[in-house]
Chain A
């Protein structure tokens, strides 16, 4: 039990690692229960239509079918984060092809599938709108006829197909643009994309009297519980959501999804039910995919490279129903000016209903596309000024004392350091072969402070356990908690056991989203460990006849500082207290404050006024482009991040590496293709092209690794999402550097690069 290496740099063997790698770990789809039925959803299968008739008679009559339910079988509740515009099952109208219309429970998955096909639905087709600008055009057919009657967040500004409209206004942009030496404009169009977790989701529900136990592949068990509570009208303490191992989420499994429908199905069937999504279902049905986006931006610049003003319009795709996209649109609007010191800013964000899969948070929601647009725009400004792109960025990057677009004063940030490091490590300025190019892009991202809590206990034999409501989505954030507790208790992190991702055993937690798990729950666990530490020190002080201040905890022992022979093991202390005292600590820690901002000139704000503990990062990418075919191979990526203090170096580097690869996919090969009828044309992994291991380039990760105040544990900031953000922009700039051709559409497919090259020649 000796610690030979600093725990945060040791190659930590994750507590869930062995079972995941050896295949004994259990995911939701692996679970089985006595009397289990198999459920399946009937999806709308049409882009937009009025439902004239639903007839489940033939489906119900099929032998082996136990229950078939529709909207008529659940409470008529409308729900939604900012606009309550949807129901568990479609009623009257379907607005996208993946909308759930009915659900079937049967003895086998095959019977369930056949029964779903036997449900008769008569549709009267309605006009389908898939294009953001067409949806916002005057006179466009309404996607929600009764939009005015829906409950909405009182701060939300909306009208018709415009699900939200917000502005960020600082200074006098019109005047600054008029007096600038040069105004550079650009328009950039990004396709929507998919989180594509490796595990298609699975949900089981089992009623026990008037309580329901749900197992779900969700990133947010507490939010899932709340949705069941809201839609089925049950108190939260009658609903338990437990997550077996989660096979990734990347945002697609945020918010409640499908848990209420499966619970309702199990109630109707009076037996437990399991629904397992196919890969196709996982592509089509979840209402969390990365939104399509159109960014129009113009910047006023001076000859010396100073940016004096920026005006932008960011249009986002809400999809058929509204999840968290109105808030994401506000984030996208901020990211369309980038991490730069721009004194005059005028940005409008508009979020449009379309007859497509609803958008919602996917790893760094709203940011990669906006940063991709803005960072290309930055290179276009550099070109117009005949200035080096790194110099232009260095001149304008946010520094301590500068103001953000919402007038937050920057402090303890190291954005410029990440730029310089990335430029240095990629070899910026070196001569390259003709077909190669280097591109660079900068980004920033907030941390999300919020309340959470945890327990740490020492069992009667001295072994330690962490009990938390936090959710592990594969990032290793929960697996890193023992490093923090271990340091405080002098116990090797590998000695801990963890109870997590279960709404009944742990206190409320925000879940695996917003890079917030270690940031917040780490604070709570450290606080709970401090509570136990105090108890141990007191006991040891008695035992060793020394002052508490003179005792340290290390190597599983309490010992007198300076005389390592005077010690008592934690196991002995636990043994000794049996029957008189339990060694249990609880903690929450104080939520770090959110910096002040000034949004008095802004409208339609729903949050994200300022960025707590903001992270900064610069990525530099070296590519090789086959000019005849437009095929791009990425040779090297440097990712330099200011993420504060790094709690788990191996884990953090893994997050950055994965984020880079996800970004490469978004940059080059990933993009949802939707037909005019609102049908996704590539809802499978052959034509939705993720990067493969063979495509992964040489990736160097660098961290400032310095503690900052008002942040997470030990001065850390969020790590999981930021590495997704600057990659697509850096790749686009590298392609332009290699070829002279700029692709203003995302992804930069070989066909698009080939077309851009041909236009360049013409």
Chain B
């Protein structure tokens, strides 16, 4: 559980009698509830499902945020970037025309979260605040240079997303801080991006290995590159060595392979029920190589269908 998310469990309204649930319509009311120890619930697909699985108790005091209008929606902003409300759902993100065109990796990510039902209620804010090393949207957001806006009774602060995560299920946000929105800066012309994960089956997967690439091509050469790995370290993280391996290249297979090797080297894979560590490390190289190639293809204007994951396993 994230610090962002774990506001209410032990402390807070210790004096109030019994459990409580409120669903206010303003951010002020939400942060007031958080200040007294209520825990935010958005779609509940992590919080409630996790409780049912016995991973953590149902928080005593809940504040639901689905009725707060100002936390909703996806809007272009003046400098060519994009603003996403914390309660934008994966379904909305996956269908958004601007995201599909200009932030394609994010559409790749949101369109493979769980099932259609999960995507219709699961939110971007919840995905971030839950801070899972397997969270689908974190890699794309980091690579696009996303910032997130946090708000509490002490005011607002803006934080680059790659400074938010501090460990599995943990963030640097304070217990009473609400994630209000995420902002994506404009991407230069000639940018293509891709997110994909290894998938054992075609639906209802969890990232065992995932990778993001965002590349900018200028005159046939990569001038900017961002690469992140998912489920391969305690947090989703960027891989500067992979980025360096791409810059200055044409984005050919050899460069993509070097990026893949760098991603594998930067991985700290674990052995668990989902995969053995050596397999995970090898897959870090394969999946990274494939997302780099798909991002380069997209930067060149070629079509790689969304979600990319579905087409990457031997084009099936």
Residues of chain A whose beta carbon lies under 8 Å from any beta carbon of chain B: 278, 280, 435, 624-626, 628-629, 631, 633, 668-669, 673, 681-682, 684, 686-687, 689, 691-695, 749-751, 754-755
Contacts and interface: CB of A to CB of B under 8 A. Distances in A.
- Nearest first, the 5 closest Cβ-Cβ pairs linking A and B are A694-B202, A626-B314, A692-B203, A694-B203, A751-B279
A681 B273 contact: yes
B279 A626 contact: no
**What does DSSP make chain A's interface, helix, strand, loop or mixed?**
loop
B283 interface: yes
A686 B201 contact: no
A751 B277 CA distance: 10
Most buried by A among B52, B199, B200, B287: B200
A631 B53 contact: no
Contacts of B286: 628-629
Given A681-B272, A694-B201, A749-B200, 13 more contacts: A280-B53, A629-B198, A629-B283, A629-B287, A631-B200, A633-B202, A633-B314, A684-B53, A687-B273, A687-B274, A692-B203, A750-B200, A754-B279
B316 interface: yes
B206 interface: yes
Interface of B: 52-54, 198-204, 206, 272-276, 279, 282-283, 286-287, 313-314, 316
11 contacts: A280-B53, A435-B314, A624-B316, A629-B286, A631-B200, A633-B316, A668-B200, A684-B53, A686-B206, A692-B204, A751-B279
A489 B198 CA distance: 57
Contacts of A435: 314
A6 to B, nearest CB: 37
Given A280-B54, A629-B283, A629-B313, A695 B201 contact: yes
Given A280-B54, A629-B283, A692 B316 contact: no
Contacts of B275: 751
Given A624-B314, A633-B316, A689 B273 contact: no
Most buried by B among A278, A633, A691: A633
Contacts of B201: 669, 689, 691-692, 694-695
**What does DSSP make chain B's interface, helix, strand, loop or mixed?**
loop
Given A435-B314, A631-B314, A682-B273, A695 B198 contact: no
A280 B49 CA distance: 13
Nearest to B115: A692
Contact of A626 (B203, B206, B274, B313): B313
A669 B274 CA distance: 10
Contacts of A681: 272-273
A749 B316 CA distance: 18
Contacts of B206: 686
Contacts of A628: 286
Contact of A692 (B54, B202, B276, B314): B202
Contacts of A686: 204, 206
A628 B285 CA distance: 10
Contacts of A749: 200
Most buried by A among B54, B275, B279: B279
B207 to A, nearest CB: 12
A751 B271 CA distance: 12
B229 to A, nearest CB: 16
Given A629-B286, A687-B273, A687-B274, A750 B316 contact: no
A631 B273 contact: no
Contacts of A691: 201
Contacts of B200: 631, 668-669, 689, 749-750
A370 to B, nearest CB: 25
A754 B313 CA distance: 13
A687 B316 CA distance: 22
Nearest to A749: B200
B192 to A, nearest CB: 22
A689 B205 CA distance: 9
Nearest to A278: B52
A687 B201 CA distance: 11
Contacts of A684: 53
Given A631-B200, A689-B201, A749-B200, A754 B282 contact: yes
A435 B199 CA distance: 18
Most buried by B among A624, A687, A751, A755: A751
A123 B274 CA distance: 31
